[in-house]
A and B are shown apart, each in its own frame.
Chain A
Amino acid sequence: MKSLFLALIGMAVAPVVGGLVSGLDRILTARCQSRKGPPLIQPFYDAAKLWGKEVTATNPWQAFCAVMYLVAAAASVGLLCAGSDLLLIFFVQAVGAVFLVMGAYAVPSPYSQIGAQRELLQMVAYEPLIILTIVGIRLMTGSFRVDAVFALDQPLLFKLPLLFLVLGYALTIKLRKSPFDISACHHAHQEIVRGVYTEFSGPYLALIEIAHWYEVILVLGLVSLFWATSIAGMILLVAATYAAEILVDNVSSRMTWRWMLGSVWLSGLVLSGINLVWLYAR
């Protein structure tokens, strides 16, 4: 009962926090480019405006996919807040990812189709890394559950430094930040227009924006697990990681999917392999 309560609270609070984090992201990005940037609550203005726009669609199936993306993203955050099984959380967010891809596939426009294929490649790149990180956490705690992480007396980061790097890698891809803004970009300077988002408009795009906030929270939640022993450590780690993400986003250019897949699978596997061997050897 308590965990259900936590899940519901998480699902209610996450979009608010996620939206604010996105707003902060935009301000910091603007500052990096010596601009002033939008107000903090700009993402909420954007979503509300989109929600109020006319409903247009090319294929009704898009509407289905947008809703399922949001629901799955919300459910995964709910499960995280309830302290559920990490693999389950991961699988549920994959539901959202798959539906986003299907929604992009739903319209025979070259931009969204190429975006969909690239998004699949991004999934191929980040999913194994996240699974391996979860396995690392399992080896430390003896359980796949999130609440087991909070029972530890030492931050995970000390034992899983390389896996933390790997997770950072994976999350950059998951959030589609440069150099991995391959399938879609939050800024409109991409060769495939807006990739997977191209064909969603109005309220459906609003749903996708909100789903993205949930994903930001999910990602930050995963990061926070690495310093679960103190609140201050948690906040510090999350802030530092996200700041690093923004910095990387601003200083790097977009890479090709080949480079992404090759470098991520290679370095990700080597790093997580080394870290896991340490744990097995214990």
Chain B
Amino acid sequence: MPVSVIKDFIEKSRLKSPWLVHFDCGSCNGCDIEVLACLTPLYDVERFGILNIGNPKHADMLLVTGTVNHRNKKVLKNLYDQMPHPKVVLALGACGTSGGVFREAYNVVGGVDKVIPVDVYVPGCAVKPEAIIDGVVTALGRLAEKRAEASASAKE
């Protein structure tokens, strides 16, 4: 019984303490500013246990802004690989989701999902703080789903 209590608490905690790492993958900085705005007193995402932790090795969520270009796609992949499971990825802004207005540029890969699997797409140019918070909450749902899938496949 105590073991299952602890396990339940850990499962609950996963949703209560999403730590973010935010990566500017060639953004115009418009979206970046909005990400930081989430931390300000107006939005105060720490209410939900959200911390911008700045280090993939500690993070549960990767927030990517910007178009992703041929130079920094390896960095994006690296950061993703350094995050421990379970983890989710959010592509922020028009650029992050699809490459946005830069899509046709010669150096642009065009979207985070070309490099790593993306769980939640948050549109906007720039993306609104409310939308980011909404995206994080949706991502928490994805996190729970992923856990359920993982434990189901572990049982099989």
Which of A's residues lie within 8 Å of B, judged by CB?
Answer: 26, 30, 33-39, 42, 44-49, 51-56, 187-190, 193-194, 197-202, 205
- A38 to B51, alpha carbons, bound, how many Å? 10
Listed by A's residue number, 27 A-B pairs whose Cβ atoms lie within 8 Å are A26-B46, A33-B41, A35-B41, A38-B46, A45-B12, A45-B49, A46-B17, A48-B9, A49-B13, A49-B14, A49-B17, A52-B10, A53-B60, A53-B85, A53-B86, A54-B86, A56-B57, A188-B53, A188-B54, A188-B55, A193-B55, A194-B55, A197-B58, A200-B57, A201-B57, A202-B84, A205-B58
- List the A side residues contacting B60 at CB < 8 Å: 49, 53
Task: Judge whether B54 and A46 touch: CB under 8 Å.
Answer: no
Given contacts A42-B49, A198-B57, contact A35 B44 (CB under 8 A): yes
Query: B6's closest neighbor in chain A, by CB?
Result: A48
**CB within 8 Å for A52 and B84 given contacts A35-B44, A45-B16, A198-B55:** no
- Name A51's closest neighbour in chain B (CB-CB): B10
Establish whether residues A188 and B52, one from each chain, have CB atoms under 8 Å apart when the complex forms: yes
- State whether the Cβ of B11 lies closer than 8 Å to any Cβ in chain A: yes
Contact for B13 among A34, A45, A190, CB less than 8 A: A45
Complex contact A201–B11 (CB within 8 A): no
Given contacts A188-B51, A194-B54, contact A53 B84 (CB under 8 A): yes
Question: CA of A53 to CA of B87 in the docked complex: distance in angstroms?
Answer: 9
A56 in contact with B17 given A200-B57, A201-B57 (CB within 8 Å): no
Taking beta carbons and an 8 Å cutoff, which residues of B are in contact with A? Answer: 6, 9-14, 16-17, 19, 41, 44, 46-49, 51-55, 57-58, 60, 82, 84-86
A36 touches B14 (CB 8 A): no
Closest to A205 in B: B58
| SS of A interface (majority) | loop
Question: Which residues on the A side are within 8 Å of B53 (C-beta)?
Answer: 188, 194
Chain A residues with CB under 8 A of B13: 44-49, 52
In the complex, A249→B36 CA distance in Å?
21
Residue of A34, A36, A38, A39 most packed against chain B (CB within 10 A): A38
Query: Please, which residues of chain B bring their CB within 8 A of the CB of A194?
Result: 53-55, 58
Report the bound CA distance from A35 to B44 in whole Å: 6
- CB of A201, distance to nearest CB on chain B (Å): 4
Indicate whether A201 sits within 8 Å of B84 (C-beta atoms), given known contacts A35-B46, A194-B58.
yes
Knowing A30-B46, A37-B47, the reply to whether A55 touches B57 (Cβ < 8 A) is no
Nearest chain A CB to B134 CB, angstrom units: 18
CB distance from B129 to the nearest CB of A (A): 14
Q: When the two chains form the complex, which single residue of B6, B46, B85 contacts A54, counting CB atoms closer than 8 Å?
A: B85
Q: A49-B16, A55-B84, A56-B57 are in contact. Are A34 and B10 (CB under 8 A)?
A: no
Contacts of A51 in B (CB 8 A): 10
Question: Known contacts A56-B84, A188-B53, A188-B54; is A49 also within 8 Å of B10 by CB?
Answer: yes
